[in-house]
Chain A
Amino acid sequence: AQKITQTQPGMFVQEKEAVTLDCTYDTSDPSYGLFWYKQPSSGEMIFLIYQGSYDQQNATEGRYSLNFQKARKSANLVISASQLGDSAMYFCAMREERSGGSNYKLTFGKGTLLTVNP
């Protein structure tokens, strides 16, 4: 069974500084995808970044980068130059990606509440 662990219930960061949100995962599947989502208080789940298990390079999307360490089963999110609007709940998730997508579901961690201070 898949499992996602986010050990930081809450994090604080100063505006313009970088912050790392931790995520470790457990799976026996060789092919999987890792995701990070941002959920502001409005409730919408905003896609941030995706990393496939066979991708050689770490994924980056603007100020977001995913520090993928396959051997350690870790997929930490790095946000550079934090902004006040980054204050939100952040969820790490994973999904099997077998051929045919027979078990196509996201398993989520419990989330990390990030607060950006001015």
Chain B
Amino acid sequence: KAGVTQTPRYLIKTRGQQVTLSCSPISGHRSVSWYQQTPGQGLQFLFEYFSETQRNKGNFPGRFSGRQFSNSRSEMNVSTLELGDSALYLCASSTGLAGEQYFGPGTRLTVT
């Protein structure tokens, strides 16, 4: 069974631009969660989608948004990029119920 895939793996953007990251979960998984990892703040929850509905959202500004498609693939968008948005963005895939949760390789975003 294929694992969680994320594209692109690396991205360099300038302040003020916007970016879209993509995540394809494990086949059969209906839940996709997004996390931001920085050296200062550690791993922080952004949001979680289950069957195309956002079930939960973390404490991030409205510049961070996401969506999920009918095939469970998810995208995350960050508008008006700031230097502080430089981070590793990880998505996680699961059934959406109890049990294991698997991460993708991450997208490393650098904002200059």
Contacts and interface: CB of A to CB of B under 8 A. Distances in A.
Contact of A43 (B33, B45, B100, B105): B105
A97 B100 CA distance: 11
Interface of B is mostly: strand
Contacts of A97: 97-98
A2 B104 CA distance: 24
A118 interface: no
A64 B77 CA distance: 36
Interface residues of A, number: 26
Contacts of A95: 101
A35 B101 contact: yes
Interface of A: 31, 33, 35, 37, 42-47, 50, 52, 91, 93, 95, 97, 101-108, 110-111
Given A44-B105, A104-B96, A105-B33, 17 more contacts: A33-B99, A37-B103, A43-B105, A45-B90, A45-B92, A46-B103, A47-B102, A93-B43, A97-B97, A97-B98, A101-B97, A102-B55, A104-B31, A106-B33, A106-B45, A106-B92, A108-B43
22 contacts: A37-B103, A44-B103, A45-B103, A47-B101, A50-B101, A52-B99, A93-B43, A97-B97, A97-B98, A101-B55, A101-B97, A102-B55, A104-B33, A104-B50, A104-B55, A104-B56, A106-B35, A106-B45, A106-B101, A108-B43, A110-B42, A111-B42
Interface of B: 31, 33, 35, 42-43, 45, 48, 50, 55-56, 58, 88, 90, 92, 96-106, 108
